[in-house]
Chains A and B, each alone.
Chain A
């Protein structure tokens, strides 16, 4: 009987531990994002045709020329992408070199999008089948990656860039350059 009693208190303790775990997890901020496993890895090789006539396309070689860059994954049909446009321009004004990949888009739509929301990009590749997007582990638009001068992904920002993210991205860019 005594042993039974200890077993039972053990069950009570187990339940308490379980509730503790639940409570801890509830109090944690829930991170719904799936982060790319490619952070810290070199860019996979690719070569994308230009998305618009006014800018050249984008290849992996362009990203390994010694200059750290921001790589923005966007699409003209994506509303948060329009929302983050002012922040991208702010980043550009702060000296960031920004390249972009347009996902499943048409040249005329991209042109219209850039005419309305501005064009902070030095290069825009056109990714019609999401191949580059998938290969760098991006699960949606918009996303912004920091690529160092050797073409290695050092940071991933998921979702639209808000004002408070601008200094963070600049800091990551600075770290990638040093």
Chain B
């Protein structure tokens, strides 16, 4: 057997538990977990659930940092449990809690619906005026690699909620849209295929929108995917101010489409052979 399953030592997990039907407020329950090098917090929680207390509730799925389910507060830092090795952040004691700034449904499970509702309110999809073409497209919308770079970083968001948990404004203002919805609003605004920037700006530039961000930067620190929502929100603010002062350069979504006959054919490319199927 390889050395990876050798136990380094025991780590005490102080887990914040809460059962709504039974408890008035969350409480801490401690478990001793044998930890080996390379073991993630999620593996530690699985150990607890399998061997010590089957009633522990938590969200998890992919266990590889891409689904965004296992966002938790680990030693005061909101991050993904599957992505974090226990011995990287703790020596003998580790506190595990649900993400703050969300209601707790049970134990380590936060209610992320408010985040999703705010996200949905900002229309996180390509929205254009030419409905017919969107529903029945004749070809592709052209987007250059340079245009893609304007929003690609922000498209890596996995909606884990860690940024929302870290944000100081969300700690007191329940109506603040939050880093994830605002960063995604910017992602769609910057997408040259999209034409709904002014529609989003009434909410994004409203009284609980981008201007309630004060660049504490905690969201970018917490993000497990390097999305840097703080950067996106500052760029969003710039866009909102530029639009307000009527100085915006790009006002319409991109129009070019690839499709049969859209561009003159390069003579060096031979004709396609005839179809062999009817």
A and B held together in a complex: no
Interface residues, chain A, with chain B CB atoms under 8 Å away: none
